[in-house]
Structure 1
Amino acid sequence: MPFGIGHEIVCLISRSALWSFFADIKLQDEHNVPNEGPLIVAATHHNMIVDPAILSVTFPEQRRLHYWAKDSMFKNSYAAKFFDNCGVVPVDRKTKNNAQLYAATYRVMRLGESIAVFPEGTSHTLPRLGTFKDGTSFAALEYAKLLEEDPRPNPDGSLPRRANIVPVGIVYPEKSKYRSVAIVKYGTPIDVEPYMATYREEPKKAAKQLTADITSAIEALTVNAPDWESRDAAEMARWVLFPGENGSMRDYISVTQSLINAVNDLSQTDQDISLLKQSLRSYKLELDALALKDVHIAKYNEKDITAASTTIELLRRTLASLIDLPLFLPGLVGHLPLYIAGYYAGKFEIYEEVRAQNKIVLSLFLVPFIYVLAFIWGWLTLFGGTFFGFFVALATLGVFVWYHVTSIDERYESFKDLVGRWRLFDAVVLGRGMWRRKERILQLKKLRDVNVAGVRRMIKTYKSKNDDVHAVWLAIRSRVRQFGDPAKLHGRKKKLAKQFEWAFEG
């Protein structure tokens, strides 16, 4: 099944949408993906249509991916032609016969092409992977069996090959947040040959075994917790251990998973860790309730939150934003409808796994109108509607869009920080709002101090006794070594190094 222009258009739109929504999409261990032969790419599915979009535009070696869709979607001739053009493969869900169920899939794989599937079946927001279905396993095993029964060459003379299964973990530290990060981690391909003897005798048993192994492989590529308490506690432990880092961490997956394992395991035998786990969760929930980030409280880690310090910090941040505003204002005004639409698209969606999709789709709908209007205004107003001005206006619009997207990250982080400073100012200085917010913030600062001390104590106590804690300690020490001599540091790097002082020795 060849790919047509429809596939290229969809990928182009997806690439543009992802570039504007995510600050970065990090690929890890992409060398694990074979550069030839048919593949079944089994990926996590936590973010609706964002998942296939990311896979399609970032898959190594620019290999194209087919996707499954129920065959009823192909009943309309125009829809069928479009889906075929995009490389979508129909699946007959009404039959119990695997050879018939995946017939179109097998035709694709005989040509050496690849299918991307989501074994969890549906998108979700859980602290760990969902239950994997056996469809991926049956497709791979039945195809291998068919090749044994029918090994004849393809029409082009090439010999068909079995399809290896490539496990993929798509991890989103903040999956519904604008300008967040996505991490795509590839695992070692799984060969179906070891399962074939069992499959010939007991197909269901072999499929279950393969599904279990696919699940284990993808678990190793992702972040999984037994419950939200463990997940939230580990996330906050990571925030206080690695200030200034979140999804930007090169070792986000391994560090976060090690912290989940450590907090969950040690809390079973150590009462202090059990209390720390509860305290970290409480800290996160209170931050969320006050719409604050750890960085806002961390600023006051060594001083009281006073009216003077809060006001000074707010004025400093506000002045810096005002100085930078003239350079960023045109792009901000031009894209303001997108930001407003994205805000409300996320605000009124109750399912987190749908929010990013809604924001992206709504923005894609609005972008043509905004950019066409901006182009017409620029061409007629700035360049007099001339023939030469048409091309200058077009180039100007391209630069305008590029500059805004590439420069927005620092400004957006500054804006979020400024909003947090205003909330602190409102609570501490103006004393407005219900639920005694000033007292809650002061208590939050004390709770953070307790958590920071507790997490550091856990690391120092168990760094030589627990493998997961030891892995986190090595990650911390790698940061410390990068600072070099603390006496020679200046500015922001010196402030950051100060928060790692506790780990400089040992």
Structure 2
Amino acid sequence: MDMVPTSPPVAAQLTWFEKTWQAFCRLVVRVFYRRFEVVGSENLPTGQGAILCANHVNALADAVVLQAATTKAIRPLARSGLFDNPILKPILGLIGAVPIYRRGDPGVDVSDNSATFRRCYELLAKGETLIIFPEGQSHDVPRLMALKTGAARMALETIQVTGSEPAVIPVGLTFPEKGQFRSSVLVQFGKPIDLTLSEQKTDEQRVIELTDRIRNGLEAITLNAESWDEVNLITRLERFFAFRHGKYRQRNLQQRLRAQQRLIDAQRLLRKYEPDRVRALISQLKQFEKVCRYCGVKDYQLNIEYRPMLIVLYLLRVIWMLLIVLPVVMWGVINSYLPYKLTEHLSLRFAKGPNQADTTKMVLGLGFFTIFWLVQSYLVYHNFGLIWMIAYILSLVVSSVVALMVRGEMRRIRENVRVFLLFLRRRDLKAYLQYKRQELEQELARMVRIANRLSHH
């Protein structure tokens, strides 16, 4: 290969549009997701080219989340068909996206990828950061798909062509409640992949080995389950353990993911060596959850001790919410009800699978809320003048922010008041549920000890 002339790598500076775009992405992510956690930013190099290799489970929302997760200038590699979209094309051009020509896409000539790769070599040698999704497409399975070799080839060929070594960083994207508004997202930047490979191997063998290393790096920071049934079971067990120790609300998303990874390993061992006990435990857990659902009781509510002072403080909180916060929330709901419902309804119709739900809601919500708020603001201006329009816009922003902040809190207040009154009438019910949960906890503890012994054999 011919050497590409390059200048020494420097930290890429954000253009005005890139700064605006990243700020916009952070706003969208903060609105759509209640919890947004970023871990491992220190693994991103400064003054060195980098290839971010991320799992791809949420369509275009993955790229938006990654843009929001860092202040670095990052260039996404996007399938060529997106550049034909009249809305996306100017945005992709302004953020420096690079087209990838995929075999099988209609009207695509994969030979055009030679120019794409040459462009990537130049960017990496200059210290730029690229995003690539090595699975090749967005999907809705709870584990990594087979990885394409493009990321490994790009890294190794950059070294050959430019003489500079890019950092290859695995990036794990975890959406615990994918498709739900005001849910959570975890972004983990893993340790750089070791690019040291044996000179005795062929180029193809080196590419395959590096691809395997990228996969191992991604598996360490993502949840890889055999099925969604396994994910649901592991999520319930993790919550159960956390509530048992009173730590569920204290755990961050990374801690929850690690706990779920350990539980997956443990339950696979137990299914192999203690299948009958596993089936009995699952049956016992389902029965307990069925009773709780029938009564409308959640796990954490069994831990609440209804002492007089706690009840007084909670009543004061309820009064505060009803008298001060609720009117502000209702103003936001009244002004945003139609665009919210339209987004909710049409996203179910247009999303082609769960992996596109977040992206569809983001796009539709952005469009509907912008249109409705502009029309409403114009009507206020037309009828009452500029001052009232400015006041109205400010009220929209404030009431919407407050509504987002207390959305879950209002629901929890209703649930807690109802459960408190239920336990007040049926004191035996709480004691019964606590006893059944204690039985489950004891069996779970025994199973964990068995799994620990098996893992050391």
Range into which the TM-score falls when normalised by the shorter chain: 0.7 to 0.9
How far apart, in 1, do the equivalents of 2:211 and 2:269 lie? 27
Give how far 1:34 is off. Answer: 1.5
Aligned partner of 2:167 in structure 1 is: 164
Partner of 1:404: helix, strand, or coil?
Answer: helix
- Indicate if the aligned counterparts of 2:328 and 2:402 stay in contact, CA closer than 8 A: no
1:58 matches 2:58: no
Aligned partner of 2:445 in structure 1 is: 459
Aligned partner of 1:131 in structure 2 is: 146
Aligned partner of 2:34 in structure 1 is: 23
Aligned partner of 1:213 in structure 2 is: 213
How far apart, in 2, do the equivalents of 1:468 and 1:409 lie? 41
1:253 matches 2:257: yes
Partner of 1:23: helix, strand, or coil?
Answer: strand
Give how far 1:77 is off. Answer: 11
Aligned partner of 2:76 in structure 1 is: 67
How far apart, in 2, do the equivalents of 1:370 and 1:139 lie? 45
How far apart, in 2, do the equivalents of 1:18 and 1:232 lie? 25
Partner of 2:52: helix, strand, or coil?
Answer: strand
Q: Given residue 448 of structure 2, which amino acid in structure 1 is its aligned partner?
A: Y
Residue 280 and residue 393 in structure 1: after superposition, are their counterparts in 2 closer, same or farther (change >3 A)? same
How far apart, in 1, do the equivalents of 2:445 and 2:162 lie? 53
How far apart, in 1, do the equivalents of 2:82 and 2:60 lie? 17
Aligned partner of 2:405 in structure 1 is: 406
Give how far 1:449 is off. Answer: 7.2
- Which of 273, 279, 283 matches 1:275? 279
Give how far 1:326 is off. Answer: 2.6
Deviates more, 1:80-89 or 1:455-464: 455-464
- Indicate if the aligned counterparts of 2:269 and 2:454 stay in contact, CA closer than 8 A: no
Higher relative contact order (CA 8 A, sep 6+): 2
Give the alignment's TM-score, normalised by structure 2.
0.76
Aligned partner of 2:339 in structure 1 is: 338
How far apart, in 2, do the equivalents of 1:379 and 1:254 lie? 53
How far apart, in 2, do the equivalents of 1:48 and 1:247 lie? 28
Give how far 1:457 is off. Answer: 2.2
Residue 407 and residue 133 in structure 1: after superposition, are their counterparts in 2 closer, same or farther (change >3 A)? same
Give how far 1:340 is off. Answer: 1.1
- Which of 88, 93, 99 matches 1:84? 93
The 5 A counterparts of 1:383-462 are 384-386=384-386, 388-389=387-388, 391-411=390-410, 413-414=412-413, 417=415, 453-460=439-446, 462=448
1:186 matches 2:185: no
Give how far 1:43 is off. Answer: 0.7
1:104 matches 2:119: yes
Q: Deviations over 1:209-264 (max 9, x none)?
A: 11111111111111112333432221111222223549855511111111111122
Residue 111 and residue 298 in structure 1: after superposition, are their counterparts in 2 closer, same or farther (change >3 A)? closer
The 5 A counterparts of 1:264-343 are 264-276=268-280, 278-279=282-283, 282=286, 295-296=297-298, 299=301, 325-343=326-344
How far apart, in 1, do the equivalents of 2:418 and 2:145 lie? 35
Q: Given residue 457 of structure 1, which amino acid in structure 2 is its aligned partner?
A: E
Aligned partner of 1:355 in structure 2 is: 357
Residue 459 and residue 253 in structure 1: after superposition, are their counterparts in 2 closer, same or farther (change >3 A)? same
Aligned partner of 1:484 in structure 2 is: none
1:242 matches 2:242: yes
Partner of 1:174: helix, strand, or coil?
Answer: coil
How far apart, in 1, do the equivalents of 2:228 and 2:441 lie? 18
Partner of 2:142: helix, strand, or coil?
Answer: coil
How far apart, in 2, do the equivalents of 1:330 and 1:369 lie? 18
- Indicate if the aligned counterparts of 2:281 and 2:443 stay in contact, CA closer than 8 A: no
How far apart, in 1, do the equivalents of 2:85 and 2:35 lie? 38
Q: Given residue 76 of structure 2, which amino acid in structure 1 is its aligned partner?
A: Y
How far apart, in 2, do the equivalents of 1:77 and 1:341 lie? 24
Partner of 2:158: helix, strand, or coil?
Answer: helix
Give how far 1:120 is off. Answer: 1.1
Unaligned runs of 5+ in 1: 149-160, 303-316, 426-441, 471-506
How far apart, in 2, do the equivalents of 1:176 and 1:75 lie? 27
Q: Deviations over 1:98-134 (max 9, x none)?
A: 7545112112112210100111111112121111111
How far apart, in 2, do the equivalents of 1:247 and 1:58 lie? 20
Unaligned runs of 5+ in 2: 1-11, 103-108, 305-316, 423-428
RMSD: 4.2
Aligned partner of 1:370 in structure 2 is: 372
How far apart, in 2, do the equivalents of 1:457 and 1:139 lie? 50
Residue 215 and residue 281 in structure 1: after superposition, are their counterparts in 2 closer, same or farther (change >3 A)? farther
- Indicate if the aligned counterparts of 1:258 and 1:469 stay in contact, CA closer than 8 A: no
How far apart, in 1, do the equivalents of 2:190 and 2:339 lie? 36
Residue 146 and residue 227 in structure 1: after superposition, are their counterparts in 2 closer, same or farther (change >3 A)? same
- Indicate if the aligned counterparts of 2:121 and 2:162 stay in contact, CA closer than 8 A: no
Aligned partner of 2:308 in structure 1 is: none
Aligned partner of 2:45 in structure 1 is: 34
Give how far 1:451 is off. Answer: 6.9
How far apart, in 2, do the equivalents of 1:171 and 1:277 lie? 27
Give the alignment's TM-score, normalised by structure 1.
0.69
Aligned partner of 1:155 in structure 2 is: none
How far apart, in 2, do the equivalents of 1:125 and 1:209 lie? 26
How far apart, in 2, do the equivalents of 1:38 and 1:173 lie? 31
Q: Given residue 139 of structure 1, which amino acid in structure 2 is its aligned partner?
A: M
- Indicate if the aligned counterparts of 1:167 and 1:217 stay in contact, CA closer than 8 A: yes
Partner of 1:162: helix, strand, or coil?
Answer: coil
Aligned partner of 1:154 in structure 2 is: none
Q: Given residue 188 of structure 1, which amino acid in structure 2 is its aligned partner?
A: K
How far apart, in 1, do the equivalents of 2:444 and 2:393 lie? 58
